[in-house]
Structure 1
């Protein structure tokens, strides 16, 4: 019986030992569970912190990309207005350099100090951007005002040019009318001949014997013209033979002059001072050779314009 009694305490000790061991294990598991929970929370916080930094980094990169696009827009606007865009190109270059640095942080840490520094730089760029937008707006307003003023001036200039052109045309028309009105006119043209005995013969029919002609005498009056200036006038006479050729001899005072843009021969010329008194003019021409028979024509010119004409016949 005694051995049975001794085995019971041993069994009880074992039970208590198992209970104690179980409690120790349970405590260890609980502690490990607590540690795992704490580590999980730390990992979550770390993940949240990293995500927050990444979000801030991406937001900062996006802000710089927006600034770059705005500065490029300003550069194009300034260049289109013919202004220098060197300062804007320098800012775009600085933003590109900052973007390279920001993108490099994707592989490393984006510290709070770096966040603050780039945020301040972005704010500075933003202030420069707003100031430049104001300058561009003012420049556009000035250009628009200048364009309006220039357009107005051009319209006035065109009107003035049209007015001047009208005045010039009117003056030209008036000058042409005055020039036409001031032309001389030969009146009472008469032809006579002087024979070898220096005797003059007139004929109302202007018909003479060719063998008796030594000299041809042409007389006329200059008609009154209140428009023509009182000045020296040059008058040419053309004595045209039946074959259509004008008598021309340098030794007897002949020469050439322009008629309707073409060169023509004249038989004789003289300068007279026009005084608007119907003054008489006379040409006396000696051919120095026999005259041809047939119809002769006398043409009188002044200023390249015919002022009178008549004919006579030599038999």
Structure 2
């Protein structure tokens, strides 16, 4: 064995002194501290990375949430505007099926947006709904322009209709005035053309057919077989020359007019009310002051007292006289 090998063998079996042991312990402790510090550093770095990642995820979720809320508000505003347009068209008496379809489509999109979870609202969803909202906004602007044009047209039509209505009312008022004037004129002509029985004379006819006169129009009842009334129609240049019907009422002392269908009695109207007549005559008025007469046979005994004779034509009383039977 060499001298060097002998020294090494001696060194291996030679015990370490206390100073060497302390030195080795220090080295070991230092190494452990370095390892622990390294591990802590790694853990701190990993925690920092995790925190940053969580913060990034939280920020992404917050942004998505904000974007989702904004998109919902945009669609709610779009829906309200389209509903406003629909109401404006309905107020003008118009209907638009395309508007109803758009409102239904927006409502469907709103339901879909409200159904998203924050984490599931992707960028693709954001682009899709943003693009659809822009398309709806463009349609909304076009429809607002159409409605504005319709309103202007309606205002023009309303103005024209108001003007036409005013003109129509004026024409109607003029026609009413003319009608009233014509009616007044017609009434005046009717009154002016009223016939007048003049020089009325009453005679009685006895059983022998002799006509008896009395200047006081007083006769004995026993001598009366028939009553004869004669008169002339006064001259009237306004009255047309045409057929006329003259009604005679012979009113007895009790106030009732003699009425017998078998002798030609009947009824006519005065001021819308029925009135009984005793006899009537159809003539043709010729404006020559022609004479007209009635001969009435009661076929019964006459009553004592004052009798009244009334003559009517064209709804007017044209003459009256009286006589007394004693």
Query: What is aligned with 1:116?
Result: 127
User: Does 2:195 correspond to 1:184?
Assistant: yes
Displacement of 1:86: 3.9
The one of 137, 141, 145 equivalent to 1:130 is 141
Separation (CA, whole Å) in 2 of partners of 1:274 and 1:170: 28
Query: How many residues were matched structurally?
Result: 313
The one of 60, 78, 95 equivalent to 1:49 is 60
TM-score normalised by length of structure 2: 0.80
Per-residue CA deviations over 1:121-156 (Å, capped at 9, x if unaligned) read: 111122222222223333333334333433333333
Per-residue CA deviations over 1:69-93 (Å, capped at 9, x if unaligned) read: 3233333333344333543333233
Separation (CA, whole Å) in 2 of partners of 1:69 and 1:39: 45
Moved more, 238-247 or 165-174: 238-247
User: Does 2:247 correspond to 1:264?
Assistant: no
Query: What is aligned with 2:83?
Result: 72
Displacement of 1:234: 1.4
Query: What is aligned with 1:87?
Result: 98
Distance 1:199 1:144, change over 3 A: same
Query: What is aligned with 1:220?
Result: 231
Displacement of 1:272: 1.4
Separation (CA, whole Å) in 2 of partners of 1:66 and 1:74: 12
User: Does 2:290 correspond to 1:283?
Assistant: no
User: Does 2:179 correspond to 1:171?
Assistant: no
2:249/2:276 contact within 8 Å kept: no
SS of 2:229's equivalent in the other structure is: strand
Separation (CA, whole Å) in 2 of partners of 1:25 and 1:251: 150
Give structure 1 stretches of 5+ with no counterpart. Answer: none
Distance 1:207 1:127, change over 3 A: same
Distance 1:58 1:226, change over 3 A: same
Separation (CA, whole Å) in 2 of partners of 1:251 and 1:24: 152
Query: What is aligned with 1:310?
Result: 321
Distance 1:177 1:109, change over 3 A: same
Per-residue CA deviations over 1:99-119 (Å, capped at 9, x if unaligned) read: 333334325332222221121
Give structure 2 stretches of 5+ with no counterpart. Answer: 1-10
